[in-house]
């Protein structure tokens, strides 16, 4: 990628920042003014470059450089354009900007691909707004549950359906499951995304090739019940202390996690919310109830199952020993997604050719790529080094790393799409 396309990318990032800065961070609210602005900026740029512009019923954006053989399965790249409230400028948007920068380079050089190459601006990836994962990519494949359209947005309490319609979408077509993308018509999907953890910064690599996207197994509303009692009048042997029981569970599961890791499993285990009932708990009472959440993530379905088994075995043993009971509530989660081996290798080769340092790594966070992979589309993800984590205003990606990532992405897209020079 030559210099002008980095300038184009910088200009797009600047426009995005200007139109979605909320005074503290970046807010591109899902099916609201922030996300709309992001889509408008990308659409305008694509029109300027002469790309075809299409939108589906859910308002995903498809920016296409037509190929010589338009009936061949298309090469697709892109990412999402929404953000969490007070998030950063690069989460999601980097993948769309990179795709546009690649196509801009080809257009200016008069190159034409054999197949269509499509940059997608995907809607509604962040579940901070609606409690549904991957709204846009699921809708593109006709997979979004009709019931999900009735979910309220966290801030406005208005439904996904209403928000989508306000922005110009057609929720009734989304509910009917009319697909815009069919797996057979997609040659591959490659998503560039900033890394949202510290692995690349710590390892000193500019780029990461994602080996797989973690699935999850979650209890969002679990409880342990003991018995409320007077803190001074109840001897140790007569207590059923819900806090003590949950503390034991959390502590023993740290050991179980370490043991699974020692056996070669990769996973995370998080008790993100732990709270007594503020109406009943008191400093002078033995706590009788603790509510908590469990979030287990892994790339491997067996690992998710093993950790879940350890969770229940350990909880049952604690319940027997301490006279408490566990109530798990509903289970939710998502399937892990494997990345395509040939595309992973192609990304490694392309990074080497771009003289960028690169490593393999799993993705602990979920991404739209999981939807594509689980539909059987050969899928890959390329992470770009980013400091200070993500989902906060301090995301920091160096443009030199972004350029290395965009060159790497461009090389693989070109190979895959059969890019050729002017005749």
In 91-199, DSSP assigns E strands to 117-122, 186-194
**Residue 238 CB neighbours (<10 A):** 11
Closer Cβ to Zn ion, 38 or 92, answer by number = 92
What CA dihedral angle connects 143, 193, 340 and 53, to 10 degrees?
60
CB of 131 to Zn ion, least distance (A): 17
**Residue 140 CB neighbours (<10 A):** 29
Bridge partners of residue 380, in order along the sequence: 190
Write the DSSP assignment of 376-421 as a string of letters.
T--EEEEEE--BS-SSSTT-B--HHHHHHHHHHHHHHHHHHHT-B-
CB of 145 to Zn ion, least distance (A): 21
Closer Cβ to Zn ion, 384 or 404, answer by number = 384
Question: Phi, psi at residue 112, to the nearest 5°?
Answer: -130, 135
Bridge partners of residue 191, in order along the sequence: 381
Closer Cβ to Zn ion, 132 or 185, answer by number = 132
41 and 12 in contact (C-beta within 8 Å)? yes
Closer Cβ to Zn ion, 35 or 116, answer by number = 35
CB of 370 to Zn ion, least distance (A): 12
CB of 125 to Zn ion, least distance (A): 6
Rg (CA), the chain: 24
Closer Cβ to Zn ion, 92 or 405, answer by number = 92
CB of 358 to Zn ion, least distance (A): 20
Site string for Zn ion, 60-99 (x = CB under 5 A): -------------------------------xx-------
Write the DSSP assignment of 166-225 as a string of letters.
HTT--HHHHHTT--S--GGGEEEEEEEEE--SSHHHHHT-SEEEEEEE-EEEEEEEEEEE
The footprint of Zn ion on residues 218-257 (CB under 5 A) is none
Distance CA 368, CA 347 (A): 19
Binding of residue 395 to Zn ion (CB under 5 A): no
CB of 43 to Zn ion, least distance (A): 20
Distance CA 225, CA 292 (A): 11
Closer Cβ to Zn ion, 127 or 234, answer by number = 127
Closer Cβ to Zn ion, 56 or 91, answer by number = 91
Closer Cβ to Zn ion, 91 or 116, answer by number = 91
CB of 231 to Zn ion, least distance (A): 46
Q: Which of 14, 19, 91 is nearest to 392 (CA)?
A: 91
Helix then strand then coil, in percent of the chain rounded to 5, is 40, 25, 35
Count each helix (H run) and each strand (E run) in the chain, helices first: 12, 17
Closer Cβ to Zn ion, 73 or 393, answer by number = 393
Give the interface size with Zn ion as a residue count (CB under 5 A): 2
Q: What is the largest CA-CA distance in the chain?
A: 91
Would you tell me which residues interact with Zn ion (CB under 5 A)?
91-92
């Amino acid at each position: 990628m030559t210099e002008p396309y980095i300038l184009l990318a910088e200009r797009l990032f600047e426009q995005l920042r200007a139109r979605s800065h909320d005074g503290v961070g970046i807010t591109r609210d899902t099916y609201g003014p922030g996300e709309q602005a992001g889509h408008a900026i990308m659409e305008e740029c694509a029109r300027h470059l002469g790309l075809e512009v299409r939108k589906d019923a859910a308002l995903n954006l498809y920016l296409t450089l037509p190929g010589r053989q338009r009936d061949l399965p298309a090469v697709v790249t892109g990412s999402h354009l929404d953000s969490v409230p007070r998030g950063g400028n690069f989460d999601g948007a980097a993948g769309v900007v990179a795709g546009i920068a690649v196509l801009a380079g080809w257009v200016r050089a008069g190159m034409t691909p054999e197949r269509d190459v499509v940059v997608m601006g995907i809607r509604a990836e962040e579940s901070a707004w609606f409690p549904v994962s991957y709204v846009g990519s699921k809708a593109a494949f006709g997979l979004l549950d009709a019931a999900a359209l009735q979910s309220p947005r966290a801030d406005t309490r208005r439904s996904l359906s209403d928000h989508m319609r306000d922005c110009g979408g057609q929720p009734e077509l989304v509910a009917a499951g009319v697909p815009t993308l069919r797996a057979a018509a997609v040659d591959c999907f490659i998503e560039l995304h900033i890394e949202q953890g510290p692995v690349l910064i710590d390892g000193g690599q500019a780029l990461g090739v994602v080996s797989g996207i973690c699935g999850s197994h979650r209890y969002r509303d679990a409880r342990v019940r003991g018995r409320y009692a007077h803190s001074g009048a109840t001897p140790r042997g007569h207590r059923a202390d819900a806090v003590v029981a949950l503390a034991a569970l959390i502590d023993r599961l740290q050991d179980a996690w370490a043991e699974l890791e020692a056996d070669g499993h990769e996973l995370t285990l998080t008790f993100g919310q732990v709270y007594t009932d503020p109406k009943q708990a008191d400093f002078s009472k033995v706590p009788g109830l603790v509510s908590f959440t469990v979030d287990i993530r892994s790339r491997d379905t067996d690992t998710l199952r093993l950790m879940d088994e350890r969770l229940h075995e350990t909880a049952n043993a604690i319940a027997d020993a301490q006279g408490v009971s566990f109530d798990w509530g509903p289970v939710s989660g998502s399937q892990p997604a494997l990345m395509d081996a040939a595309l992973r290798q192609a990304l490694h080769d392309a990074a080497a050719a771009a003289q960028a340092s690169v490593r393999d790594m799993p993705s602990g966070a979920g991404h739209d790529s999981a939807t594509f992979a689980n539909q059987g589309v050969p899928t890959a993800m390329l992470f770009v080094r980013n400091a200070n984590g993500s989902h906060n205003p301090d995301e920091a990606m160096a443009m030199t790393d972004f350029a290395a990532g965009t060159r790497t992405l461009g090389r693989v897209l070109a190979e895959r799409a059969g890019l050729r020079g002017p005749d």
